[in-house]
Amino acid sequence: MDPIEKLLWDALAAESEDRADLARVVAMTSSFEAAVDRVRTLFPEWRDGQAHCNVLRVARPDLYLELIGTDADPFYRDDRIPAFLDWLVARMG
């Protein structure tokens, strides 16, 4: 296997492990915010908005798909987290 191919395979394996870690954290926590806090510890390189979106993607993929691209989507903008939390409360009813 050439070095580039090995790097790609290593990156895919790491991404798969990250997804599994994220799923475990979400499954083991009692609330959305607790999951976000744990995920921020596990993935300190993620911004707050990114952590919120990634937890939602695992916990409620249906709502995550509904959120993408809206004014409440905080993935790239942490300043949208309050709007996101309002949006989430309205959807979770």
Cα separation, 59 vs 33, in Å, equals 12
Amino acid sitting at position 80:
R
pLDDT band at 88 (very low <50, low <70, confident <90, very high): very high
The pLDDT score that the predictor gives to residue 29 is 80
* Annotated domain spans of the chain: 3-92
CA distance 22 to 43: 9
Per cent of the chain over pLDDT 70 is: 84
The answer to whether 50 touches 75, Cβ cutoff 8 Å, is: yes
The pair of structure tokens assigned to 64 is 């995550």
